[in-house]
Chain A
Amino acid sequence: MAKIRTHLMVCGGTGCISSGADTLITELENILVQKGYDKEVKVVKTGCFGFCGQGPIVKVHPDNVFYVQVQASDAKDIIEEHVIKGRHVDRLLYVEPIENLKMDLHRDMPFYKKQLRIALRNCGMIDPENISEYIAFRGYEALANVLSMPREDAVKVVKDSGLRGRGGGGFSTGMKWELTMRSPGDQKYIICNADEGDPGAFMDRSILEGDPHSVLEAMAIGGYIIGATKGIIYIRAEYPLAIHRLEVAIGQAREFGLLGKDLFGSGFDFDIEIKLGAGAFVCGEETALIHSVEGKRGEPTKKPPFPSEAGYLNKPTCVNNVETYANIAPIFLNGAEWFSSIGTEKSKGTKVFALAGKVNNVGLVEVPMGTTLREIIYEIGGGIQNGKAFKAVQTGGPSGGVITTADLDTPIDYDSLKAIGSMMGSGGMIVMDEDNCMVDIAKFYLDFTKDESCGKCTPCRVGTKRMLEILERITEGHGTAEDLDNLQALAYMIKDSALCGLGQTAPNPVLSTMKYFREEYENHVFNKRCATGSCKALAKYSIIADKCIGCTACARVCPVNCISGKVKEVHVIDQEKCISCGACFNACKFSAVLKP
């Protein structure tokens, strides 16, 4: 039997690899050889399926059965039961958390039902290290078509599609390309911004790992339109797998003549090189990124001049984000009208979000613009972990803000998020439950921006540091009423005076949490209390004498032995020694431990 009848698609994204996908693949291949099925069953290492919280993922084609949390030790069952005998391995199926139902088929899973995958179309579907598989799914056809079109017509398609930059700003991609196209210059450049820096965001990495050719093809299209013969991918060195797959993809594209001289016999030359960044958040800002590519310090400069006039090496340059590029080929294949029929009035197409935090289905989701947060969190995300109450969701990373229950039904697009005090950003979405302290969250983000500030302008360099100091005082129980006023005043000052986007948006997490959760700040300042127990200095656990039956459970788990009391007697916590870890609270079965 030499015909391949089954493909076992194993996720080879960074998430699944770190939970053991590589050893699983080896094991599957070994068992197939042992059983004599290696000639009819193929194991394919794909890009990210997006269902990262349930990794490693194995999807079986053509049955379309989806297995989750598959370990190397499960390989034997998958092959002996499913591959050989056609029986589904029940215990590896996904259990839907709300109804507690077992799901066999990929298309039935609520996680995928509401999704519309354009940018992620090939992730999980193809082997990213094999250009033939990309070509099989209409890869490089868009490039071939565009090269036979006048540049003006091609740029019109992108403009008409309504595609806006997916890196956060939301500027029209067609407009950006047209500006660079019309800008005079003997040499122009097109750059891919793969410096994904938001904490918790990993959509760009997943696209590059799962479908690198879609970015290469789009860069060649963009290069042709704006008149650039050279493309540069600026990617952080922290993404070794994405870099490796890009290198493989570029090598294969050159071999097939899809990069290099005279593409498709059109006379257009185009090639791409990779530049590694050291992983600085500020280098996601386009002027800072360009300086970093030039080998200078990654610091932003004032705009204008815009990169479209004088960018890399002072030549007209166009910088677009990875996800933006991933949308380009489908736009040319299916038409601008198709793309603009998806989404809301001013935000077209889909957006990829990295869903993380206290949500059941952690992973990567792609939804049409205009989907509500409620749909994303409760339907796709499967609700809040452990049945806790939803408190807020943070979007836009360190530049964004929190969104509360009141705005859960807002259709998400660039403008609606801005209107409720957050922003789209690159698409990080961190879900928080009742146990998250909002002051602590604001402190976390400010700590990040303070570290990532490049130090060029004073408001950002000194201002974020001062703001962080105030937040530290508040979370340690030394905050005053004046601190709250100063925090707010400083926030607006930095917003108005910082040089680049990093500084101008750095105060957003503070302003937004102060707006929606002011009572939490006041509780910290005036009552010296942190209701969630997150701020350790303010957390005072105590035992309610009436409820304590003296089971000793709390005393046994206490890591610093600060709980005293004999069996069947009321226990007491020594506040001096207590480190507020909360272990006693979790251990008590009688609700006798009072959480601060």
Chain B
Amino acid sequence: MAIKSLEDLKRIREESQKKVNLRETGESTDDIVELMVGMATCGIAAGARETLSALLDETEKQGLTNIRIVQVGCLGYCHSEPTVQVNLPGHEPIIFGKVDDKRAREIVTRYVLHNEMLEDSVVINTFVKA
């Protein structure tokens, strides 16, 4: 356990950062990607907790740090639960519907990382940012 060099310290830091990087430090939030998971009763019933978990897991796998994953209330698209709203900086917000584990991972790997639209999952993409 003993730290004997700056490299040792940095190794421990990287491990520790994973556990605290969801805390907002008060620094600039301009380039933060927001993923908002609808977690009202029907969302949860349709599996939003698994969706949330998949999003968290995938962002960690991809080593993304500029992402904030928040649970929000009912978005009103009960027919398409679980829903995830994505706010990419510089883009119109988009709501994806019927997001299961697989789709959640694709939102991260394809839309967030490569800006690739997942057309068949889009519920709505023309509205004022929440």
Contacts and interface: CB of A to CB of B under 8 A. Distances in A.
Contacts of A6: 22, 71
Contact of A135 (B9, B40, B72): B9
Interface stretch (A61-69, A203-211, A540-548, A580-588): A61-69
Contacts of B1: 255-257
B114 interface: no
Given A4-B22, A63-B70, 14 more contacts: A3-B56, A5-B69, A5-B71, A7-B20, A40-B49, A64-B24, A83-B71, A85-B73, A107-B24, A141-B6, A141-B10, A144-B9, A256-B1, A257-B2
Contacts of A3: 53, 56-57, 60
B19 interface: yes
A1 B49 contact: yes
Those 4 A-B pairs whose CB atoms lie nearest each other, nearest first: A257-B2, A136-B16, A86-B71, A132-B16
A321 B57 CA distance: 44
A565 interface: no
6 contacts: A6-B22, A107-B26, A133-B19, A136-B20, A141-B13, A264-B6
Nearest to B10: A141
A138 B10 CA distance: 9
Interface of B: 1-6, 9-10, 12-13, 15-17, 19-20, 22-26, 37-41, 44, 49-50, 52-53, 56-57, 60, 68-73
Given A62-B22, A133-B20, A85 B9 contact: no
Interface of A: 1-7, 9, 40, 61-64, 83-87, 106-107, 117, 125-126, 132-133, 135-141, 144-145, 255-258, 262, 264-265
A257 B4 CA distance: 7
A144 B6 contact: yes
Given A3-B57, A63-B70, A87-B73, A265 B23 contact: no
A264 B5 contact: yes
Contacts of A256: 1-3, 12
A141 B11 CA distance: 12
Contacts of B44: 84-85
Contacts of B10: 141
B19 A136 contact: yes
B129 to A, nearest CB: 16
Given A5-B71, A62-B24, A85-B41, A265 B5 contact: yes
A231 B44 CA distance: 54
A83 B44 CA distance: 12
A135 B22 CA distance: 16
Given A5-B71, A7-B23, A140 B15 contact: no
A140 B20 contact: no
B6 A145 contact: yes
Contacts of B60: 3
B49 A136 contact: no
A420 to B, nearest CB: 33
Contacts of A257: 1-4
B52 to A, nearest CB: 6
B53 to A, nearest CB: 4
A94 to B, nearest CB: 16
A61 B26 CA distance: 12
Contacts of A133: 16, 19-20
Contacts of B19: 4, 132-133, 136
Given A3-B56, A256-B2, A62 B69 contact: yes
A10 to B, nearest CB: 13
B53 A135 contact: no
Given A1-B49, A3-B56, A137-B20, A132 B3 contact: no
A7 B20 CA distance: 9
Contacts of A83: 71
Given A61-B22, A64-B24, A86 B40 contact: yes
A124 to B, nearest CB: 10
Given A3-B56, A85-B40, A132 B15 contact: yes
A256 B70 CA distance: 34
Contacts of A106: 24, 26
Nearest to A40: B53
Contacts of A86: 37-40, 70-73
Nearest to B57: A3
B39 A136 contact: no
A2 B53 CA distance: 8
A140 B40 contact: no
A1 B104 CA distance: 15
A134 B69 CA distance: 23
Contacts of B22: 4-7, 61-62
Nearest to A107: B26
B78 to A, nearest CB: 14
A527 to B, nearest CB: 53
Which of B4, B13, B39 has the most CB atoms of chain A within a 10 A radius of its CB?
B13
A5 B3 CA distance: 29
